[in-house]
Amino acid sequence: MKIYLDHASTTPLKKEVLDAMTPYFCQYFENANSLYSGGRQTANAVALARQSVAKNFGCMPNEIYFTSGGSEADTWALKGIALAHKSKGNKIIISQIEHHAILNTAKWLKNNGFEVVELPVDNNGFVSPQKLEELIDDNTILVSVMYVNNEVGTIQPVKELAKICHDHKVLFHSDCVQAVPYLPLNFKELGFDLASISAHKFNGPKGVGALYVRNGVKIDKLILGGAQERSHRGGTTDTPAIVGLAKALELVQDSRDNHNSHVESLRNYFEQLVKEAIPFVHFNGGSPRVGSVSNLAFEFVESEGILMLLDMDGIAVSSGSACASGSLDPSHVLLSMGVPIEVAHGSVRFTFGEENTKEEVEYTVKSLTKIVERLRQMSPLFNLKQGETHNV
Amino acid sequence: MYNNKVLEEFANPQNVGVIENADGVGVVGNATCGDIMKITIKVENDIITDAKFQTFGCTAAIATSSCATKMVIGMTLDQALQLTNEKVVEYLEGLPPQKLHCSVLAEEAIKKAIEDYRSKHQ
């Protein structure tokens, strides 16, 4: 059996998306910037894709810039705004629970003379608008807070945050990479000045994303080169990827309500079964959170062992953020939320998707129960705990 | 990232547990770092006749605990003190660079257990 429960990491490409992309690899391969008819044809496909994306995000087509993915969009937003607005101020505010694409770009800016201030989160994983009100000042040029957190799924009060920014004439960017499958996004209504998205999180191809930049917002270029993306982003236009992104977005718009209720019912069933079967578990992330994410921390064990043993049973999950798997530190998100470090070491993220079933949830909980029990038997911490219990 | 030998050792660890009335106990690491290793040994005539482990830690920590205990059983105390983390890594046919510290923990836990035994049997 093969069970995929890591949809926040990436999702399978949909057949309809592949079909939409296919003609643009071999048949209509011409460079979209070429003047001859073949080039005009691919340019037209890109223009239609851009219109469709803009319509789905409630913005103008010329406010959408295609990128190589979410990380490029995030990096561009931060660096591009910081450099274009440095005469106004040098302070940038981000949240503590941002993706590493934001965190590491902010670190780069800090090393290059900008002041970076982090907005804390509460124990449930939420940024406080009131705290932003305290931190924002005349020197602030940009605030960046993600819409949906990638590790615990919490939905941040971005509309309120954007309003505070605008009251102070500060630009607001939101990393919306994890939001697209679950929340309708109307950038104008939300009041965003910039927003990042990535296609592979919603059954589109990997290696393509977009940055929304509201008309009138001045931004420096990140990738220099030719006149692509209205001279804002160099690099030969990736026609099939862009067509795929637009198609995947259309599909997700049409099916979002059904998708949400499906994943949420699976997630709730999963958490209920875990609660019944396994003691000493922390359920991380408060409400509101998106329906697909379950972030659990199992006391007395280390999450990598759980992940590897689940894999041996055919179940794919991630421990904290997969991007952090090269590091030994536990999740910065959980630590920001005040989860004790030894508990954070035992955190596993399960993210459900369209193809998952109730039977898969049941099989997973059975496997998980057995694995956690086995690792606890091996753990000196658990045996210490058992000893304490006996002594009481 | 892990080779098959490491995964096999992790999935089927040997010598899990605690020896009752152990002759030597070694505990290293801490929960904050995400690794704690406890090794207990039985010693007869200066030879390690049994070794068991309990480990809170990652795949590599569990695999190295298992193979370190296997390797020292039957060794004299002096031989066991010569057990280096390189030998543990060699036995496992390599570990990812960021996991090498786990093999150091196994070496240290064995050494501590022997020190503990010797301090009680001077």
The CATH number of whichever domain residue A75 belongs to comes to: 3.40.640.10
Say if the Cβ atoms of B55 and A379 lie within 8 Å.
yes
Domain membership of residue B42 as a residue range: 4-120
Which residues on chain A are in Cβ contact (under 8 Å) with B96?
Answer: none
A43 & A81 share domain: yes
Report the CATH number that the domain containing residue B83 is assigned in CATH: 3.90.1010.10
Say if the Cβ atoms of B35 and A300 lie within 8 Å.
no
Interval B95-121: pLDDT, tens: 998 888 888 899 999 999 999 999 998
Tally the domains of chain A: 2
Tally the domains of chain B: 1
Say if the Cβ atoms of A342 and B31 lie within 8 Å.
yes
A55 & A70 share domain: yes
How high is the ipTM of this complex?
Answer: 0.94
A213 & A274 share domain: no
Alpha carbon A187 to its chain centroid, in Å, reads: 17
Say if the Cβ atoms of A380 and B7 lie within 8 Å.
no
Task: Give the active site residues of B.
Answer: 33, 102
Interface test with B, best of A303, A367, A378 (most B CBs within 10 A): A378
CB atoms within 10 A of CB A316: 15
Say if the Cβ atoms of A305 and B34 lie within 8 Å.
no
Say if the Cβ atoms of A381 and B98 lie within 8 Å.
no
Alpha carbon B63 to its chain centroid, in Å, reads: 9
User: Three-state SS string across A200-260, please?
Assistant: HHHCCCCCCEEEEECCCCCCCCCCCCCCHHHHCCCCCCCHHHHHHHHHHHHHHHHHHHHHH
B22: its two tokens: 């152990």
> Mean pLDDT per segment of 10 residues, for chain A of length 392 residues?
96 98 98 96 98 98 98 98 98 98 98 98 98 98 98 98 98 98 97 98 98 98 94 96 98 96 98 98 97 97 94 92 58 95 94 98 98 96 71 36
A301 & A174 share domain: no
For residue A46, count CB atoms less than 10 angstroms from its CB and return exposed for 0-12, middle for 13-18, buried for 19 or more: buried
Say if the Cβ atoms of B18 and A381 lie within 8 Å.
no
CA count, 13 A, side-chain hemisphere, A31:
8
Which residues on chain B are in Cβ contact (under 8 Å) with A310?
Answer: none
**Closest CA in chain A for residue B15:** A378
Last residue in a domain, options A224, A252, A280: A252
Task: Give pLDDT tens digits along chain B (122 positions).
Answer: 899 999 999 999 999 999 999 999 999 998 888 889 999 999 999 999 999 999 999 999 999 999 999 999 999 999 999 999 999 999 999 999 888 888 889 999 999 999 999 999 87
Last residue in a domain, options A252, A268, A285: A252
What per-residue confidence (pLDDT) applies to B101? 84
Domain membership of residue A355 as a residue range: 3-7+256-391
Residue type at A51 in one-letter notation:
Q
Query: CA-to-CA distance for B25 and B111, rounded, in angstroms?
Result: 10
B114: its two tokens: 């022997």
**Closest CA in chain A for residue B60:** A305
Interface test with B, best of A308, A319, A334, A373 (most B CBs within 10 A): A308
A182 & A37 share domain: yes
**Are A319 and A306 spatial neighbours (Cβ–Cβ below 8 Å)?**
yes
The chain B residues in contact with chain A (CB within 8 A) are: 2, 7, 10-11, 13, 16, 18, 27, 31-38, 54-59, 61-62, 98
Which residues on chain B are in Cβ contact (under 8 Å) with A377?
Answer: 16
Nearest CA-CA distance, residue B85 and chain A, Å: 19
Last residue in a domain, options A211, A230, A252: A252
Which residues on chain B are in Cβ contact (under 8 Å) with A345?
Answer: 31, 34
Residue A370, beta-bridge partner list: none
Query: CA-to-CA distance for A384 and A164, rounded, in angstroms?
Result: 50
Which residues on chain A are in Cβ contact (under 8 Å) with B12?
Answer: none
A264 & A246 share domain: no
A233 & A292 share domain: no
Nearest CA-CA distance, residue B33 and chain A, Å: 8
What are the backbone dihedrals phi and psi of residue B78, each rounded to the nearest 5 degrees, phi first? -65, -40
Q: Which of B2, B27, B57 sits opposite A302 (nearest CB)?
A: B57
Which residues on chain A are in Cβ contact (under 8 Å) with B34?
Answer: 302, 328, 330, 342, 345
Say if the Cβ atoms of A328 and B33 lie within 8 Å.
yes
